[in-house]
Amino acid sequence: MGANVIRISLVALGASLCLAVPAAAQSVEARQFGAREALRGVSVSPDGQRLAMLVTSGTRGAGLAVWSSDGKLTPILNYPGDDARLMGCSWSTNTRLVCTLYAVVDREGTLGGVSRMIAIDADGSNAKELSPPQKPNQLYVRYFGGEVLDWLPDESGSAVLMLRQYVPERATGTLIAQKREGVGVERVDTVSLKRTVVEAPRSTGVGFISDGHGTIRIVGTRARLGSGYMGDEVTYRYRRPGSETWEPLSAVTIKGYLTSGFDPYAVDRDLNVAYGFDNADGRKALYKVALDGSLKRELVLARNDVDVDSLVRIGRQQRVVGVSYATDRRQISYFDPQINALATSLEKALPGNAINVADASLDEKKLVVFGGSDVNPGRYYLLDRATKKMAEIAAVRPDLAGVKLATVKAITYKAADGTDVPAYLTLPVGSDGKNLPAIVMPHGGPSARDEWGFDWLSQFFAARGFAVIQPNYRGSSGFGERWFSQNGFRSWKLAMGDVNDAGRWMITQGITSPAKLAIVGWSYGGYAALQSNVLDPDLFKAVVAIAPVTDLDQLQNRLKDYSSDQEVKDIIGGPALWNEASPSRHAERIKAPVLLFHGDRDINVPIAQSRLMVSKLHDAGGRAELVEYPGLDHQLDDSQARAGMLDRIDQFLRTTLNLPTKP
């Protein structure tokens, strides 16, 4: 196999479906909460007669099973997770599925992700790769395997519109080398694999938007700088109905994690508008813009407290039926009266749950519904709107069946400067909330936020007797530009101050005492777990960092492979900031014992970051240990690894905080 050829093999599943096998951990809770989701997604066929279910396979793999309305369940695919991973599957016809595979590969010494798409019949036969084959004479590896832009719901055939990455070929010794480069759109028959170019590739292209009925209406391009990197502006153009002419729509400026300008996400063919997001008084809001030549712009929804950030779509044409935003809990504002009435009835049928429609049949009479909450890890249901009957498909986490989970309460606490910081507090079931061992658990990102719902980490700690607070510190997204500030790296002192103040609040509230306070974080949260101790070395008595960033110089070396110098500066500043904001450069200030976990196939945060941190801590005379997981990436998506990690953290915290042992 040539150095530039990537192959992902198809593996047939055996006669029975293998669900997750939890690790042989010491505590029952570690086995229960460490087990991955048994059901990871459900798709319904266009006629509503079949369900495709993505299920956990073994400790780290995923499989695909097809349920038919006659009650038959057929396992058809299995990827153990050691090589490629099965990420999701949807129906192209009533009998044919399109699936996405993902793998981490070594790109000449640097790890990177590669995706491929396949098609397979509902009985497991006739598997074919939809992504164009990698050729030995191509100039570089095509890492992006494509995605479906339009399922062509108005047609009866087996074709879809797919986004494709074109890679030029070497011309030496041939006159027919392919010279095109960039992303384009193809019409691909999922049975015959016949391909037809719909939109020629653009070397500066960043994406296309379809109207859900087979017509590409919007294209986005991003000019390249003289350095070869992409510029900081994305230009969008659109076509009027029936026209082949591209006209200006909008320009979006990108500065680090923030954008400004109308950013289109969807086209409504019947209304002839584009839905997209733009700034409204410092917060993200939803707008619609007419695509008739007038570019008439209308505000659909804005909030004065949080960003309006996600479209709600339904059906095989992915029509926009609403928009969502997160306050204390995620809310949905529906545009479609029928869907709004349906949502109201579902809320009555599943009280206390956050509900969304995961998929729909072609006529939208059969719906896959998901419901979950803080005390419900989630269940999938099949709703027949004609008969008004709803049947449960399966629970997402059957390992937690019968386990009483802790409620999650939205609270605010005062930062040192008087600012109210939103957070979520989880207390052990039956606890009075006083004199408990406690954990501050900052989220990752930093361009992210915590939301109300089930969280396997905080629920595990609550089950083991810990109080957990999850602060949406300044630098979190979802609360507008002012709250986001310059993000959690460039504004690290502000972000870490809020994180530390969450711990101080738990002490002043009597929830915990100074001797029983720890911090646990993953990714940027792991960075925060370490860097918060640089800011205040005496606050936390134990530190757990999972896949953390520890050195911003290493991070910028990673980022500059994909981003311009200005983009890197917008995210993590310059050398002076790298020095003051890198926990590995201030290891001598970290007094508490540190426990780190990291997978050696992590492409988000390379394991070298944790190895550097533990080395620096040892050099400074600190107590530190690193647990490495061969073959796992940033998510440590392995039931055995997760269960073992939970046990290890629990034991570490009990020893370090002088807590009683617990079986």
430-447 pLDDT, tens per residue?
999 999 999 999 999 999
Contact 427, 507 (CB under 8 A): no
| Sign of the dihedral through C-alpha 53, 56, 62, 63 | negative
Whether residue 202 has pLDDT greater than 80 = yes
Contact 40, 48 (CB under 8 A): no
Using CA atoms, how far residue 326 sits from 300, 301, 344, 410, 648, in Å, is: 17, 13, 18, 12, 33
Question: Quick one: pLDDT at residue 11?
Answer: 33
Contact 519, 544 (CB under 8 A): yes
Helix axes 552-559, 608-619, angle to 10 degrees: 160
Whether residue 172 has pLDDT greater than 80 = no
Confidence of residue 106 (pLDDT cuts 50, 70, 90): confident
- Nearest CA to 160 out of 142, 146, 180, 144 is that of 146
CB atoms within 10 A of CB 203: 12
| Sign of the dihedral through C-alpha 635, 639, 644, 650 | positive
Q: Residue 529 and residue 68: Cα distance in Å, rounded?
A: 48
Confidence of residue 306 (pLDDT cuts 50, 70, 90): very high
Question: Quick one: pLDDT at residue 622?
Answer: 96
Q: Poorest-confidence range of 98-107, 459-468, 621-630?
A: 98-107
Question: Quick one: pLDDT at residue 108?
Answer: 74
Confidence of residue 129 (pLDDT cuts 50, 70, 90): very high
Phi and psi torsions of 61, nearest 5°? -100, -175
Q: Poorest-confidence range of 13-17, 157-161, 359-363, 375-379?
A: 13-17
Q: Residue 531 and residue 493: Cα distance in Å, rounded?
A: 9
- Nearest CA to 52 out of 380, 401, 391, 386 is that of 380
Question: Quick one: pLDDT at residue 174?
Answer: 57
CB atoms within 10 A of CB 334: 17
Q: What share of the chain is helix, strand, coil (3-state, %, to 5)?
A: 20, 40, 40
The whole-chain average pLDDT of the chain stands at 92
Q: Residue 235 and residue 222: Cα distance in Å, rounded?
A: 6
- When pLDDT is averaged across residues 15-35 and rounded to a whole number, the result is 65
pTM assigned to the model: 0.93
Whether residue 372 has pLDDT greater than 80 = yes
Using CA atoms, how far residue 243 sits from 184, 215, 363, 469, in Å, is: 19, 11, 29, 54
- When pLDDT is averaged across residues 508-531 and rounded to a whole number, the result is 98
Of all helices (H) and strands (E), which one includes residue 483? Answer: helix 481-484
Q: Where are the beta strands (DSSP E) in 389-506?
A: 389-395, 408-414, 420-426, 438-440, 467-471
Amino acid at site 244: E
Q: Residue 484 and residue 19: Cα distance in Å, rounded?
A: 41
